């Protein structure tokens, strides 16, 4: 067939050619177009072309830019003349992606592609409106050559004080037409001039080879140990953050996301930098383990409880899989869980970085070499390449997650990327311990990762002071009070410590527990908005005279009762800050000291993923090709039938309803297998042409299958204006 358009070129492709196109441009079959014409429209649309251009490497992009500079149609020889001989391989890849197609008279570019590439491709200006005498450039004055040297490799625009008063060098160029004014202070060098001075080469440097990664090799054992340590740490961080919010929920900002104060609180609780805390929160958020309730509280979801029951390998896989596909970048200067972290290229860059590390074989590349290789693979001409900070964030996050260890891809990260079994994580994790070592300074050392039940109980009554191979916990008034608030008694706390510790419980710690237990609940706070009750009138008097709690606006209404204008939670917080140990009680006077672990009442709502299309499977590719081929046949048949219909309807006589009914009845009796072309009037009296297969007549209506939709429709006989057999 003669190829006169982009759609004709796509029609000329065989099934293998279409599959190759869809493999490189998966957005073309999301959803599957109805026929080749629809495919051509989508493939030449700006959004699809932008995605396709962004998927090119540096060399392919340079060849495509060179092709956009040449006048259409062009030959392979013309393209090689302005690039080099190796461009034929890049040309084949561009043809496979339908960014260049073969017409009947040479190579062409789809419509809109030049708009995507921009107006000044490779630093070249616009084409001159008249033919230029380029040979005169050899005799240009020295001052003019100096101007040309500054503009020849771009940018093609130059600033001048006043274009009406040019210097001698610029004046000669303006007079000869090699440079044209854009406005009073700007001139532009024409494309033909720049190409002539460049020796008919579009680019100064052709980067046909991918830069090589350089760095240091990491020993396999060191790599494995570093990665498993990172995995253990990150899983523990995630549990600590969500357990903390299960007891003390944070509040989301009105604009969405976590506020600075709550982020600082989590940072201090974990003992990490704020960037790391933000990343931990983001990963939990995109994994559905935490969400923002309708009342703006940030709470763990019930999915978190299910996640806790999984083995470590499954826990880690759930977190990392969500991170790999998300379009959010936690390194941006915005609130964690907020709406401003989406970047459409995030997942693509992330996967490419890990793919480069996967091919490096235990190499920890330097930042500069990794950035150079990444920017060659993803040049992103609109943004000037992948930003260096994106690479820094991604490599840092991969290290935190344990995908890498000491900068090289870990065996666990390689297994995840290549869909291999991850159960090795469970066997490589350090063995959990069920005991602690209590010291004389009210601290306890966990000589390894604690069993979940022990760790959960210890989190209630102690604060983490330092982390590492061994975790140090500290017992204090506030931590022991937290345990009492969660329903533990002093006897239960002491019994747990004696059972769990391999060393005796120091006497000072026993005294501290006993003292806190005696004081706890002696002072009670309830809501009225609120009241403070205490059987010790001396303590009531002391509180009334204490300037530290003046903000409560206390008023004594009974010897043992005070009231204030603050809510109960705020009153408890102020009293504790002043050194008192109140406990909450309900309206019936019962001590509220039961478990307070909270969960979100709504389902997790992970943020949407933007800018990504999944790579189609072989089965999906085959279905897409089959659907398009079927639609193309149907479209061709419809086109033929429409032509026949137009000819038939042009000579259709006008008929009454009775005459139409008689014709239809005769047709169903004599020629039921033939299609009919009818004219049918709508509610507004407009007549449309329909091609139908009559089925039956019932109650003054004709039931028939419409060829346009493939559906069985009902046509009222009085509205049929004429009938013809096809």
- Which domain-ending residue is among 410, 428, 446? 428
Q: Are residues 359 and 230 in the same domain?
A: yes
Residues 444 and 420 grouped into a single domain? no
- Boundary-marking domain end, from 536, 563, 584: 584
Q: Tell me the C-alpha distance between 486 and 593, whole Å.
A: 5
> From the CB of residue 49, how many other CB atoms can be counted at a distance below 10 Å?
24
Considering the domain architecture, whether residues 251 and 330 belong to the same structural domain is answered as yes
> What token pair was written down for 130?
């008249």
317 with 259, same domain? yes
What is this structure's pTM?
0.72
Q: Domain count for the chain, please give it.
A: 5
Is residue 187 located within the same domain as residue 222?
Answer: no
pLDDT confidence of residue 596 = 57
pLDDT score for 652: 56
HEC profile of 259-310: CHHHHHHHHHHHCCCHHHHHHHHHHHHHCCCEEECCCCEEEECHHHHHHHCC
pLDDT for 671: 80
pLDDT at residue 488, rounded to an integer: 83
According to the model, what pLDDT value does residue 660 have?
A: 84
Q: Cα separation of 40 and 631, whole Å?
A: 14
Residue 642 placed within a domain: yes
Give the tokens for residue 600: 């979100």
In a domain, residue 596? The reply is no
Residue 645 sits in the same domain as residue 714: yes
Rounded Cα distance, 204 and 527, in Å: 76
Q: Which residues, given as ranges, of the chain have pLDDT below 50?
A: none
Asked, for residue 38, whether it belongs to a domain, the answer is no
Residue matched to tokens 């006589």: 653
Residue 160 in domain: yes
Task: State both tokens at 371.
Answer: 């950035």
Report the pLDDT value the prediction gives residue 643, as an integer from 0 to 100.
Answer: 60
For residues 687 and 679, the answer to whether their CB atoms sit within 8 Å is: yes
Q: Nearest Cα to 429, choosing from 516, 313, 603?
A: 313
Residue 410 shares a structural domain with residue 301: yes
Q: Which domain holds residue 259?
A: 217-428
Reply yes or no: is the peptide bond before residue 103 cis, omega within 30 of 0.
no
User: 85 in a domain, yes or no?
Assistant: no
In a domain, 59, yes or no: no
Residue 345 located in a structural domain: yes
Coil, strand or helix at 377: helix
Same domain, 390 and 538: no
Q: Tell me whether residue 42 is in a domain.
A: no
Which residue among 166, 197, 228 closes a domain? 197
Mark whether 424 and 459 lie in a shared domain.
Answer: no
Q: Spell out the long-range contacts of 306-309 with Cβ–Cβ below 8 A and sequence spacing 24 or more.
A: 308/239, 308/452
């Amino acid at each position: 067939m003669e190829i006169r358009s982009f759609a004709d070129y796509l029609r000329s492709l065989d099934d293998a050619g279409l599959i190759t196109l869809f493999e490189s441009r998966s957005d073309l079959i999301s959803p599957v177009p109805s026929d080749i014409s629809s495919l051509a429209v989508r493939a030449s649309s700006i959004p699809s072309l932008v995605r396709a251009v962004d998927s090119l490497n540096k060399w392919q992009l340079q060849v495509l830019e060179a092709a956009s500079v040449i006048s259409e149609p062009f030959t392979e020889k013309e393209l090689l003349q302005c690039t080099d001989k190796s461009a034929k391989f890049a040309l084949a890849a561009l043809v496979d992606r339908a960014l260049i197609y073969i017409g009947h008279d040479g190579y062409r570019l789809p419509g809109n592609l030049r708009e995507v590439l921009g107006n000044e491709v490779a630093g070249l200006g616009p084409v001159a409106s008249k033919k230029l005498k380029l040979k005169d450039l050899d005799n240009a004055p020295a001052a003019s050559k100096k101007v040309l040297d500054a503009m020849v490799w771009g940018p093609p625009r130059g600033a001048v004080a006043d274009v009406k008063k040019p210097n001698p060098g610029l004046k000669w160029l303006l007079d000869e037409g090699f440079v044209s004014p854009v406005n009073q202070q700007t001139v532009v060098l024409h494309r033909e001039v720049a190409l002539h001075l460049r020796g008919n080469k579009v680019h100064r440097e052709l980067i046909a080879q991918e830069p090589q990664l350089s760095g240091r090799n990491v020993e396999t054992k060191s790599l494995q140990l570093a990665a498993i340590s990172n995995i253990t740490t990150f899983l523990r961080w995630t549990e600590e953050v969500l357990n903390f919010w299960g007891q003390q929920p944070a509040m989301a900002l009105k604009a969405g996301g976590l506020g600075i104060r709550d982020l600082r609180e989590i940072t201090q609780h974990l003992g990490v930098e704020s960037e790391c805390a933000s990343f931990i929160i983001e990963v939990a958020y995109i994994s559905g383990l935490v969400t923002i309730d309708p009342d703006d509280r940030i709470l763990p979801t019930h999915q978190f409880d299910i996640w806790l029951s999984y083995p470590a390998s499954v826990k880690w896989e759930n977190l990392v899989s969500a991170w790999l596909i998300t379009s959010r970048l936690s390194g941006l200067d915005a609130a964690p869980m907020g709406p401003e972290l989406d970047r459409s290229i995030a997942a693509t860059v992330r996967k490419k970085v890990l793919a480069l590390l996967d091919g490096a074989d235990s190499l920890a590349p330097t930042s500069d070499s990794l950035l150079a290789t990444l920017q060659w693979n993803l040049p992103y001409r609109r943004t000037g390449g992948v930003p260096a900070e994106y690479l820094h964030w991604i490599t840092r996050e991969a290290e935190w997650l344990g995908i890498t260890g000491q900068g090289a891809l870990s065996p666990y990260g390689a297994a995840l990327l290549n869909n291999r079994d991850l159960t090795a994580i469970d066997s490589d994790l350090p063995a959990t311990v069920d005991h602690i070592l209590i010291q004389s300074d009210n601290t306890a050392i966990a000589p390894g990762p604690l069993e979940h039940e022990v760790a959960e109980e210890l989190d209630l009554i102690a604060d983490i002071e330092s982390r590492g191979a061994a975790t140090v916990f500290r017992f204090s008034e506030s931590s022991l009070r937290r345990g009492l608030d969660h329903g533990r008694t002093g006897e239960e706390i002491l019994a747990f410590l004696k059972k769990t510790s391999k060393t005796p419980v120091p006497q000072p710690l026993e005294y501290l527990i006993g003292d806190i237990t005696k004081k706890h609940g002696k002072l009670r706070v309830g809501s009225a908005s609120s009241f403070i009750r205490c059987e010790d009138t001396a303590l009531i008097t002391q509180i009334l005279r204490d300037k530290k709690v003046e903000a409560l606006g206390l008023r004594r209404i009974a010897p043992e009762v005070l009231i204030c204008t603050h809510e109960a939670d705020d009153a408890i917080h102020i009293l504790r800050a002043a050194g008192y140990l109140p406990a909450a009680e309900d309206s019936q006077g019962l001590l509220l000291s039961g478990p307070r672990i909270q969960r979100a009442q709504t389902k997790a709502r992970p943020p949407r993923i933007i800018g990504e299309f999944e790579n189609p499977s072989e089965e999906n590719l085959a279905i897409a090709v089959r659907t398009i081929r079927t639609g193309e046949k149907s479209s061709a048949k419809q086109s033929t039938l429409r032509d026949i219909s137009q000819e038939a309807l042009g000579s259709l006589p006008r008929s009454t309803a009775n005459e139409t009914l008689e014709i239809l009845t005769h047709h169903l009796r004599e020629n039921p297998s033939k299609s009919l072309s009818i004219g049918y009037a709508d509610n507004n009296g407009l007549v449309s042409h329909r091609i139908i297969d009559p089925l039956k007549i019932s109650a003054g209506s004709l039931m028939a299958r419409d060829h346009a939709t493939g559906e069985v429709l009902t046509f009222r006989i009085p509205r049929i204006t004429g009938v013809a057999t096809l």
